[in-house]
Amino acid sequence: MPRPHAPWHALLAPLPAGAIPHRTPVVPPELRSSPASAAIEGWSSVGLELSAGAAGLRIVQVLVDHQGQPLSASDHVLYRSAHPNDRSAPAHIEQESIGGRIEPDGSFRGTCWRVVGPEPAEGEEPQWTMDPRAPTDEEIATLRILVAELLLRGPTSH
């Protein structure tokens, strides 16, 4: 659920005023004339990658079709956190996300999830726990606002 007055690097927070999204074609130039790419020709990924330094990373992304209509959307926040009861314990990596498909009728079909695990040592496999859940109506409404804002900002081509 969105946090009131959350910093811009929190899940579903408002975007920073000066952030300009980038647009990247889904089909790379070398495959544009192939028959396999015809169904998705003109589709783009519109997104922002926002670093908060040690506070974390936020990635907001929208997939749009050749007419600029959104097909899917996601907001991901990744950050490190100290153990709340033991500051000498290894840091944890946490990720909060919402993502899913925007259906042709305008409805949203997606998932929220939270992933947590201790920061792995070099060469060690991460030990993650993942807690998925259905997004609330408020979260879906806030994601729709983010999508509209991202698309209004006039993304640049990559």
- List pLDDT tens digits, range 81-139: 766 666 676 677 889 999 999 998 889 999 999 998 877 778 888 788 899 999 999 99
Please enumerate in sequence order all residues whose Cβ is within 8 A of that of 132, keeping only pairs 6 or more positions apart, or say none: 111, 112, 113
For the four alpha carbons of 46, 17, 136 and 68, in that order, the dihedral sign comes to: negative
pLDDT number for residue 1: 43
Q: In this prediction, what percent of the chain has a pLDDT beyond 90?
A: 45
pLDDT number for residue 4: 46
Instruction: Determine the Cα–Cα distance for residues 35 and 42; give it in Å rounded to an integer.
Output: 14
Domain boundaries, the chain: 22-28+40-157
Confidence label for 22 from pLDDT (cuts 50, 70 and 90): very high
pLDDT digits (tens, 9 = 90+) for 1-18: 444 446 778 899 999 988
pLDDT number for residue 21: 93
93 or 44, which is more confident: 44
111 or 33, which is more confident: 111
Show the beta-strand stretches assigned E in 5-149.
22-25, 44-51, 57-64, 70-81, 92-102, 108-118, 129-133
Q: Residue 153 has which token pair?
A: 């900002």
| DSSP assignment letter at 105 | T
Confidence label for 146 from pLDDT (cuts 50, 70 and 90): very high
**What SS3 class is residue 149?**
helix
Cα angle 127, 129, 131; round to 5: 165
Statement: residue 80 has pLDDT above 50: yes
